[in-house]
Amino acid sequence: MPRETQASATRRDELLAIAARLFAEKGFKNTTVRDIADAAGILSGSLYHHFDSKESMVDEILQTFQAELFASYDEVLASADDPRTKIERAVRLSFAAIDQHRHEVAIFQNDADHLGSFPRFAYLAERNAQSRNVWMTLLTEGVESGALRQDLDVTLTYRFIRDTVWVAVRWYRPGGGLSHEAIADQYLTILLDGIADA
Amino acid sequence: MPRETQASATRRDELLAIAARLFAEKGFKNTTVRDIADAAGILSGSLYHHFDSKESMVDEILQTFQAELFASYDEVLASADDPRTKIERAVRLSFAAIDQHRHEVAIFQNDADHLGSFPRFAYLAERNAQSRNVWMTLLTEGVESGALRQDLDVTLTYRFIRDTVWVAVRWYRPGGGLSHEAIADQYLTILLDGIADA
DNA sequence: GTCTATACTCGGATAGAC
DNA sequence: GTCTATCCGAGTATAGAC
């Protein structure tokens, strides 16, 4: 790769990281191209040397993140672990994703519904369905193997897990009192065994 | 109350209900006064006969809802029920609020962070702190009374409950397969006893 | 209580100089 | 790769007629 191209790619990535932070903090629609340019120390027009549009930026941010995330889920699904271990692994990797890609997770949480209504972002709905399949598979295997309660409402449980895990991006801050591993541990304890005194 | 005033108040409420629905569906910033006027069958300028600004509308919507919600929490706190019953009541009334005021809950979930940064909406942060106090009190009483595990991380548990309960507004639809009471029951089972086979 | 018309501001995007 | 300058559309809000 020639030096110019490499330097250009780096600048692109810097700009994407800045955009991701602002999209996460203020929402996609509520972030202006001038906001992004200001934060990058350039003028808004200059952004269009790197990207077609504001939409292109969020598109690239989300696609890159989701490709990585679902590769991880697929690894868990394909593994030879027992059902309970698979569920634990899936929960842990989700909290790890919040730790390592919190802006991307926040954008997905806050703006995916709205963005998904445009043809360009149709893949967001597909990824949503894919995520549902992953969890429904894990939970169904859990019930069938006897690891989970036989009377579990699998669909409702899927929603509770999905919501509780991802919504943590609203309050989790890396470097705070709790590591993402510790949060995952605590969460798994509550999820698997409940909060009532045994 | 004279008839004119009453009719006027009714029209106001109609307009607020329309605005609440749109704010909930598309977000506050993403909803235009023309959207609201269109849905009401009038022109945008006419809205300003009833309200000072778009902000005034969301302000009135949120204040009315929160006053009612926190009155309910206070009732639970002040009751003579045992700690576990209080927690169950607080969870149930939250799901009932989602059923009966889903637009208001959705607005609070999606826009409170952003709105709260303006002086006019400083009360949103106060209400947030108040909600935290309610739950921390309930959970602490639960641990002290022996109803809940002694090793529970109360702060983390508070966050999980708050998030899981309110985020249900994203998928709950009244008249769907599950009543809000049934969802509350299932959720309390998971929360108190976990999903693992006993 | 609603309409017509319009002022004002802000946001996304473009063209071409440097 | 960034800047200057600018277009165009959209959004909030206002004034005054009906």
Candidates A26, A95, A195, partner chain B, best to mutate (most B CBs within 10 A): A195
- In chain A the first and final C-alpha atoms are separated, in Å, by 61
Using the CA of B35, give the nucleotide whose C1' is nearest: D11
As separate numbers, helices (DSSP H) first and strands (DSSP E) second, chain A gives 9, 0
Closest CA to A98 of A179, A176, A175, A172: A172
- Residues in B closer than 8 angstroms to A147, CB to CB, are 196-197
Instruction: Answer whether A147 touches B (CB < 8 Å).
Output: yes
Within chain A, which residues score under 50 in pLDDT? 1-4
Candidates B87, B187, B188, B190, partner chain A, best to mutate (most A CBs within 10 A): B190
Residue B4 has pLDDT above 60, yes or no: no
Buried b (16+ CB within 10 A) or exposed e, A9-20: eeeeeebbebbb
Residue reference for tokens 């969890």: A135
What integer is the mean pLDDT of B158-183? 95
Mean pLDDT of chain A: 94
Cα–Cα distance, B91 to B106 (Å, whole number)? 17
Residue A149, by phi and psi: left (phi above 0), alpha (psi -120 to 50) or beta?
beta
Mean pLDDT of chain B: 94
What's the Å distance between residue B31 CA and nucleotide C12 C1'?
Answer: 18
What's the Å distance between residue A45 CA and nucleotide D7 C1'?
Answer: 13
Instruction: Answer whether B163 touches A (CB < 8 Å).
Output: yes
Token readout for B115 is 């709105």
- The domains located in chain A, with CATH, are 53-193 (1.10.357.10)
- Residues in A closer than 8 angstroms to B195, CB to CB, are 142, 148-149, 152, 157, 191-192
What integer is the mean pLDDT of B106-117? 95
pLDDT single digits (tens) B69-94: 999 999 999 999 999 999 999 999 99
Name the residue type at position B117.
S
Q: Which nucleotides of D are covered by protein (CB under 7 A)?
A: 1-6, 10-16
Given pLDDT bands bounded at 50, 70 and 90, which one contains residue B198? confident
Give me the residues of A, 89-108, that contact B with CB < 8 A: none
Q: State residue B10's pLDDT score.
A: 87
Candidates A190, A191, A192, A193, partner chain B, best to mutate (most B CBs within 10 A): A190
- Which residues are bridge partners to A196 per DSSP? B148
Cα–Cα distance, B197 to B188 (Å, whole number)? 16
| Residue A27: partners with Cβ closer than 8 Å, 6 or more residues away | A110, A111, B27, B29, B114
- Does residue B43 reach within 7 angstroms of strand C, measured from its CB? yes
* Residue of chain A whose Cα is closest to the Cα of B169: A163
- Residues in B closer than 8 angstroms to A25, CB to CB, are none
Q: State residue A198's pLDDT score.
A: 80
